[in-house]
Amino acid sequence: MRLRLAFSILVPLALAGCGAVPPTKPAERGARTAGSAPISVTRPDARQCHAELGQTGSRFAPLPDKYYGAGCSTTNSVSLEGVGGDRHQFAVTNLGAVACPLANSFAAWARFGVDRAAQQILGSPLQRIETMGSYSCRNVAGTARRSAHSRAEAVDVAAFVLADGRRISVRSGWNASQDEREFLRVIHRSACKRFGTVLGPDYNKAHHDHFHLEHGGGSYCR
């Protein structure tokens, strides 16, 4: 608990004090049985990612690596509760464990994509992003391939709440008023610049009520 608090308060200081945490054993990665490994803050990529996320002004806590079996795991993941904006933090609800590199892309999108579009198009800053979560041990629908959700490397975003109280959901806003339609299409396009795969209502019926934002090197945007 002390570690979680320390990270959410002052990441650089907490990182400096984390040398005592034993490193993740390579043998534990990909283990067949479910279980957890120590928080992987001593891995250079994790330390770098946490430092970058801290610099965005986001509120988060690193999570221990977990292996659930059946190809599902959450490694180098964080609990992200708030994202830093130009003037204040945006709340993020219902997210759970999310891979740290994805959290960084998400934080940048929320600030530079969503909040600024909300101000310009809807005249009110962003207050909260409602998600349908990240980690879920499942396949890509209709395939035998594990979804990025099975590694917490995708986030499903359902709605945006503005400071003036308005709530714009993907489900009802995609084909709603001109302003809401424009807002959702602009932030969908900006997501395509920051995530490897972005799927929305125009992709298929399964995505009528959310944006699927996936970490990775691809460039699929629909």
Binding site for Zn ion (CB under 5 A): 154, 156, 212
Q: At closest approach, how far in Å is the CB of 10 from Zn ion?
A: 33
Phi, psi of 15 (to 5 degrees): -60, -40
Task: Find, among 211, 210, 183, the residue nearest to 197 by Cα.
Answer: 211
Q: Nearer to Zn ion by C-beta: 92 or 154?
A: 154
Query: What does the DSSP assignment read for 85-102?
Result: -SSSEEEEES--EEEHHH
Q: At closest approach, how far in Å is the CB of 206 from Zn ion?
A: 9
Q: Nearer to Zn ion by C-beta: 94 or 177?
A: 94
Q: Nearer to Zn ion by C-beta: 135 or 183?
A: 135
Q: Which residues contact 184 (CB under 8 A, 6 or more apart)?
A: 168, 170, 173, 174, 200
d(CA 187, CA 114): 6
For residue 115, what is the DSSP state?
Answer: I
Q: Nearer to Zn ion by C-beta: 80 or 154?
A: 154
Q: At closest approach, how far in Å is the CB of 132 from Zn ion?
A: 8
Q: Is the dihedral of CA 64, 84, 194, 178 positive or negative?
A: positive
Shortest Cβ contact with Zn ion: which residue? 212
The partner residues of 56 in beta bridges, in order of sequence, read none
d(CA 175, CA 200): 12
Q: Nearer to Zn ion by C-beta: 59 or 212?
A: 212
Q: At closest approach, how far in Å is the CB of 25 from Zn ion?
A: 31
Q: At closest approach, how far in Å is the CB of 118 from Zn ion?
A: 22
Q: At closest approach, how far in Å is the CB of 146 from Zn ion?
A: 13
Give the C-alpha distances (Å, rounded to integers) separating 218 from 158, 196, 215: 22, 4, 8
Q: Nearer to Zn ion by C-beta: 156 or 180?
A: 156
